Structure 1
Amino acid sequence: MKAIKWIKKILLGIFILMCSMLIIGVIYEYVSRLKGEKIIPDGQFADIGGHKLHYLKQGESGPTIVFEAAFDPTGHLQWHNLQNEVSKFATTISYDRAGILWSERGNNPKSGEKMAEELYLLLEKINAPKPYILVGHSLGGMLIRFYMDQYPKEVAGIILIDSECPNDEDYLSPELYAMVSQGLPEGFLKFANSVGLARLIYKDMFPDTKEYEYQNTVMPALLHKSAYGILEEGKQDSFIKKEAKKIKNFGNTPLYVLSAIDENRFDQFIKDSTLNTEMVNAWNKMQRDMLKLSTNSKQILVPNSSHYINQDQPTVIEDAIKNMVNELE
């Protein structure tokens, strides 16, 4: 009987502890959101018909460089430091897709076609000088396909940075494909977003250095908004890929494919050595095959870099943009 009483006391203690932690988490999340509301946006807003998108425009000379971000809650912040450098010799525009950071969600579906249309309307609204050099990282590289397909006359050149491949299933074994294509756990993410856990999950999006002090202040503060935006994009990933793989021809539009080649870049996510090696080889082949999108393409291999080349080797991207600008002059 004493053992049963002790078990009940332990279970009651665990229950009380969990409730206390949840209450603390809810309070922490509430306070964090209040602080987030006080942060002044670093850019401007453009109404694209029904909702506003937040964008940052820097630089007034040369061609217009348009940055498209990856699948994560950082939005335009992903390009913040690089944009500061590129704006010294070109007009630059980064933005937050609908529902990310300061951009309003709106009512459009999270399809590749609609996201391209929203970017087009944004650039039209702010009278961005044409044509554009589009720079897209990861998912952003795949989304560029839709823009190129719908508005080819607007595009002078394309730079894909370790871009996602829409037909990656063709390159991967069923086991590896199932592993890498798992969607975000919607119910857990919504719960985590309400009790402060999401802020812990995404706390390492940027290095903990002075160089990224601004990003590390803004992104966590606005994570409660961005979390739902990326959750929607994740749910639509298979549909976006299905539509994107139909877009196979950029004509002779200049295309640079920047590819990370660090052999250990997937170690954190794929522990099985056989699957890890398969992923490295498959990703390398996907990157090479993207050169077929244009008859005027070249690949730039980036050693000592993870998937986030813009953090690990930003000067490589800066140099690629400079070279493309020079080629187009």
Structure 2
Amino acid sequence: MSTNARAAMQDRPPLGRYFDVGGRRLLLHSSGSGAPAVVFLAGAGGVGLDYWDVQEKAAELTTSVVYDRTGTGWSDRVAVPLSSAEVTEELRELLRAAGTPAPYVLVGHSLGGLFARHYATRFPDEVAGLVLMETDHEDYDSYMPRELTEMRAAWDPDQELPDELPEEAVQLYRGLFARMMADWPEEIREPLVDRHVSPEWIMDGYALVPYRDRFLDELRQAGPLPDVPLILLTAMDVDDFKNAVLIGESDALLREEIEGKRRLYTDLAASVPRGENRLVHGAGHASIHWRRPDAVLRAIHDLLGM
């Protein structure tokens, strides 16, 4: 592919259409038909089309939706990240604009899992079920070893990250993303990989770091989850994405983190009448949907059957 052709693909989304929500353009891609619709919520640093593979498989079961929330992917940017309440309200309005009626099975990954939980707490009648992949949680740090939480609290991306990533880091990330999507159609894979290694998209995830405590405080104030079917997916391995961003954590600490997650998600599952925590081997935090789409699809299938 020529450089000019690649640049043109990079500037436009390979799939989806734009909707106006609150004066901002948001990208949404929908496939399939039926109800309840399955809606994917990306993690920090992720975009909707990162879940294209499992989204298309879910579309064989029902309506299946991915989107880019404000400040991510091909959607519009803002100077200050939206609050969790604003994210959930935005998603609600976007789905209405797209003609996708409630209720929804929300499939949230990492930070997207936190937003999915908040949506269910705010609008319980609009949620048919939750699949939470490696979800962020307001009690996460309390399940972790003190050494790990202190190490990460001391890390400041503004101080530690260079103004521009060195070329070797860019190529490392390019290779990681390309491997995750190796069997995807080129017209989807290439613009996604190119944009993921662009300075704008790389910084999207890091830009949320200073606001994480605000998101967690919102969840603390939101109250417990309603009685909706819930399946949590806990990745039991450390992947190459984690290895690429280590700040000195030892293998022992990383294993303690995985054990802490397992306990946290088991407790979260037990907090609702129809909750379950499933351990997923062969994938890490960032790669669970790429390495184990079968586990994600099985959880969606099982919730649709409830």
Which category describes the TM-score, using the shorter chain as reference length? 0.7 to 0.9
Q: Does 1:202 align with 2:173?
A: yes
Structure 1 counterpart of 2:89, one-letter code: E
Q: Does 1:311 align with 2:254?
A: no
Match for 2:21 among 44, 48, 51? 48
Match for 2:192 among 205, 214, 219? 219
* Deviation at residue 158 of structure 1 after TM alignment: 0.7
Q: Which moved more, 1:309-318 or 1:178-187?
A: 178-187
Structure 2: any 5+ residue segments left out of the alignment? none
* Deviation at residue 198 of structure 1 after TM alignment: 7.0
Alignment of 1:123-138 (within 5 A): 123-138=95-110
Cα gap change, 1:305/1:230 in structure 2, threshold over 3 Å: closer, same or farther? closer
Structure 1 counterpart SS, 2:136: coil
Q: Does 1:323 align with 2:267?
A: no
Which position in structure 2 is the counterpart of 1:168? 140
Q: Does 1:240 align with 2:215?
A: yes
Which position in structure 2 is the counterpart of 1:63? 36
Match for 1:143 among 111, 115, 126? 115
* Deviation at residue 64 of structure 1 after TM alignment: 0.3
Structure 1 counterpart of 2:290, one-letter code: Q
Separation in 2 of the partners of 1:290 and 1:80? Answer: 27
Structure 1 counterpart SS, 2:192: helix
- TM-score normalised over the length of structure 1: 0.79
Cα gap change, 1:286/1:215 in structure 2, threshold over 3 Å: closer, same or farther? farther
Q: Does 1:92 align with 2:70?
A: no
Separation in 2 of the partners of 1:37 and 1:107? Answer: 23
Greater gyration radius: 1
Structure 2 counterpart of 1:317, one-letter code: V
Structure 2 counterpart SS, 1:231: helix
Output one character per residue of 1:89-129: Cα deviation in whole Å (capped at 9) or x when no partner: 11011101212121012467432111111111111111212
* Deviation at residue 181 of structure 1 after TM alignment: 4.5
Separation in 2 of the partners of 1:216 and 1:182? Answer: 36
Q: Does 1:179 align with 2:151?
A: yes
Match for 2:259 among 253, 276, 281? 281
Which position in structure 2 is the counterpart of 1:101? 73
Q: Percent same amino acid among aligned pairs?
A: 25
Output one character per residue of 1:271-295: Cα deviation in whole Å (capped at 9) or x when no partner: 5244233212212111111114422
Separation in 2 of the partners of 1:44 and 1:138? Answer: 25
* Deviation at residue 136 of structure 1 after TM alignment: 0.5
Structure 1 counterpart of 2:73, one-letter code: L
* Deviation at residue 31 of structure 1 after TM alignment: 7.7
Separation in 1 of the partners of 2:62 and 2:303? Answer: 11
Cα gap change, 1:129/1:43 in structure 2, threshold over 3 Å: closer, same or farther? same
Cα gap change, 1:208/1:325 in structure 2, threshold over 3 Å: closer, same or farther? closer
Match for 2:204 among 222, 229, 251? 229
Structure 1 counterpart of 2:120, one-letter code: M
Contact kept in structure 1, 2:36 and 2:128, CA below 8 Å: no
Separation in 1 of the partners of 2:156 and 2:60? Answer: 38
Match for 1:110 among 72, 76, 82? 82
Output one character per residue of 1:161-199: Cα deviation in whole Å (capped at 9) or x when no partner: 121222222122332102345666237757217x87774
Output one character per residue of 1:302-321: Cα deviation in whole Å (capped at 9) or x when no partner: 22222222111111111111
The count of corresponding residues between Structure 1 and Structure 2 is 295
Aligned residues: CA RMSD = 2.9
